[in-house]
Amino acid sequence: MSPVKQFTCIVCPRGCLLTVEITEPAADAVSGAPNYLDAVRVVGAACGRGVVYGRQEATAPLRSLTTTLRTSGADRPRLPVRSSADLPLERLLDACIALDTVVAQAPLRCGDVVMADLLGLGIDMLASDDLAVCPANGASHG
Amino acid sequence: MKRETIYDVIVLGAGPAGLAAAVAATDSGSSVLVVEREERPGGILKQCIHDGFGLVRYKEKLTGPEYARRDIAAAESRGLYLLAETFVSRVEKGQDGFALTCVNRDGLHDLRCRSLVLATGCRERTDRQVFIHGDRPAGVYTAGLAQAMVNLHGLLPGRTAAILGSGDIGLIMARRLTLEGVAVAGVFEVKAEVSGLTRNVQQCVRDFGIPLGLSTTVSRVFGRQRVEAVELSRVDERLRPLPGSASLVDCDCLILSVGLIPENEIAVSLGVPLDPATRGPQVDQNMHSLIDGVFACGNAVHVNDLVDYVSESAETAGRAAAAWARGLAVGQPTPRRLQPVKTQGPLLYAVPQFVDTASPVDTICYFRSNRTLASGARLAVGPAAKFAATGPATTAENFVERKFEVLRPPEMERFVLPAARSAGLTGALQLALKPEGEA
Ligand SMILES: Cc1cc2nc3c(=O)[nH]c(=O)nc-3n(C[C@H](O)[C@H](O)[C@H](O)COP(=O)(O)OP(=O)(O)OC[C@H]3O[C@@H](n4cnc5c(N)ncnc54)[C@H](O)[C@@H]3O)c2cc1C
Ligand code: SF4
């Protein structure tokens, strides 16, 4: 029997229930190589983005990461940040631990890279807001 | 006597609703002032650091602060005047507009305007707390307060958390706390169904293997100084704890995510009639309340799940507030001809509650079903007089007919009723929702 997985599409708020069936890949008619793409069948997606998501989710789930960083010299204690691309779901917690020691130095603009190449994944962490300088806060916020 | 400035439009609140309303009113030629009680504009979006905002308005997946930044940039580029750290304490209606009393560090200020836009957002319900027995230790927080602590101040509410209520903010906090190293003992919901979006159940709870207990409530809190444990009970269909079903969960904080209600102290003080279903002002399609010159938008009207529609309703309110002020300035406010909107079938609510048939503005209607309609439903909109007690009598005279694949209470739906169609209404407008496969 081929494995069937069910999950909710998280690409948009509609939240379609996807059923993904993984079959034995057939040999491609032209190249003869196994065709993995057609071996993953996605049912229940109301749009094409759900099909792409379903394939990915069934094989290697990816998630975006949003969190906050400690700041230094800024007008507030935390800066919200986001990942430049989605990372493997099972690396989210490691990523947060790695970001625990990173300090965002004001001033920063929304979109600035605050940490490059997170965990060697080739993904950057970007400021998701402007961070203004506050002269009174020279020391890093705890 | 000193002549005071009269603004065409004063907007209360600088969240996404207030900012979009102010920008739209400015673009319509009005003089506009925004009053905000907090230090920075952006409203609740400042603390919503997760992504998923803006898919409708910008076709992009933005975080809350990024979404707010776009509204702030639009306001700044127009030189919009924001009076921050100022609380509006009192509003009075006069002959030619409104007189506002504001309080800030410099003392009391009197402001005047022709149109008033209420964009004060919503607040968290805390009433459920009352029903929990036991001690009253420290460590019980609402989800929004916990979100502000973690995301704005970098403070953790505890080491092990139990979350009561499955609203979106509670689900989002389950993930947020997990990522910050807090152990989440579970998310518990008294109803048999999750009240937040399905995608948040997946990406915030299931992704991290957090237990989700439905038909389960917190029946007792233990702890002298600080929360030490909570008692969980399973409930029956009538939401009463089942005897003998209690179990203990160790935790040092309890987070309540039991829903939001519109913030409407000022509307109430002005005598603006509220809708008991939304708990916000009743409005027409211009977001004009039943008191002339008072407009409302965003979460102050009804609690939205998507900020994109908050902005949409706010732009409508801003344009209409500007038009009203123009009319007042020349002494000729446009009279309204209001027809009520009636609902039929499993509808929780519909906004607007009135249609102004004298207005050339199309009606954007937002509604929610009151239960999950898994096999979908048909919506028919037309003159109420043409509807039978059991549902739409004819189809030829319906203004709008729509079919929905599935309807769930947490997911708001929307349709547009063109002004050309509603202009001829001589009585109430009816919205009839008929579930598929039900008699
Ligand atoms: C705790 C919380 C978390 C939320 N999280 C999400 C989420 O994750 N995703 C989502 O899509 N939606 C979320 N929402 C819903 C969110 O509120 C809306 O999407 C959107 O931000 C509403 O915009 P608004 O401008 O109507 O209200 P708000 O953003 O709440 O803005 C209202 C503004 O009015 C100001 N104000 C209020 N009263 C006065 C007064 N008397 N005088 C002066 N100023 C005043 C407030 O300070 C505030 O800045 C959340 C709501 C809350 C309460
Ligand atoms: S399949 Fe398409 S419509 Fe359905 S949730 Fe995913 S993105 Fe949204």
Considering the domain boundaries, does residue A46 fall inside one? Answer: yes
Atom of ligand 1 nearest to the CA of B16: 25
**Same-domain pairing of A81 and A122:** yes
**Domain hosting residue A50, numbered range:** 4-60
- CB atoms A13 and B55 under 8 Å: yes
User: What pTM was computed for the model?
Assistant: 0.91
User: What SS3 class is residue A53?
Assistant: helix
B207 contacts chain A (CB < 8 A): yes
B38 contacts chain A (CB < 8 A): no
pLDDT at residue A36, rounded to an integer: 67
**Is the shortest distance between the CB of A17 and ligand 2 below 6 Å?**
no
Considering the domain boundaries, does residue A33 fall inside one? Answer: yes
Q: Domain of A109: which CATH number?
A: 3.10.530.10
Least confident segment among A15-19, A118-122, B230-234: A15-19
Between B410 and B66, whose confidence is greater?
B66
Write the pLDDT tens digit of every residue in A30-47.
Answer: 777 776 667 788 989 999
Write the pLDDT tens digit of every residue in B355-391.
Answer: 999 999 999 999 999 998 988 899 999 998 887 665 5
Question: Residues B271-295: what's their mean pLDDT?
Answer: 97
Of A60, A75, A93, which marks where a domain is finished?
Answer: A60
The β-bridge partners of A26 are: none
Nearest CB to B179: which of A70, A96, A130?
A: A96
Considering the domain boundaries, does residue A137 fall inside one? Answer: no
Residue with tokens 């979100």: B147
**Same-domain pairing of A56 and A74:** no
Number of domains in chain A: 2
**Same-domain pairing of A40 and A54:** yes
Rounded Cα distance, B264 and A132, in Å: 33
Give the ipTM.
0.87
**Same-domain pairing of A90 and A114:** yes
**Same-domain pairing of A47 and A72:** no
Find out whether B124 and B107 touch, Cβ atoms under 8 Å.
Answer: no
Write the pLDDT tens digit of every residue in B14-42.
Answer: 999 999 999 999 999 999 999 999 999 99
Residue B422, Ramachandran bin (φ over 0: left; ψ between -120 and 50: alpha; else beta): alpha
User: B229-234 and B216-222: which strand pairing?
Assistant: antiparallel
The β-bridge partners of B230 are: B221, B249
Write the pLDDT tens digit of every residue in B197-229.
Answer: 888 999 999 999 999 999 999 989 999 899 999
User: B229-234 and B87-94: which strand pairing?
Assistant: unpaired
pLDDT at residue A27, rounded to an integer: 76
User: Residues in chain A whose beta carbon is closer than 8 A to a beta carbon of chain B?
Assistant: 7-10, 12-15, 17, 46, 61, 63-68, 70, 76-78, 80, 82, 89, 92-93, 96-97, 110, 128-130, 141-142
Find out whether B161 and B143 touch, Cβ atoms under 8 Å.
Answer: no
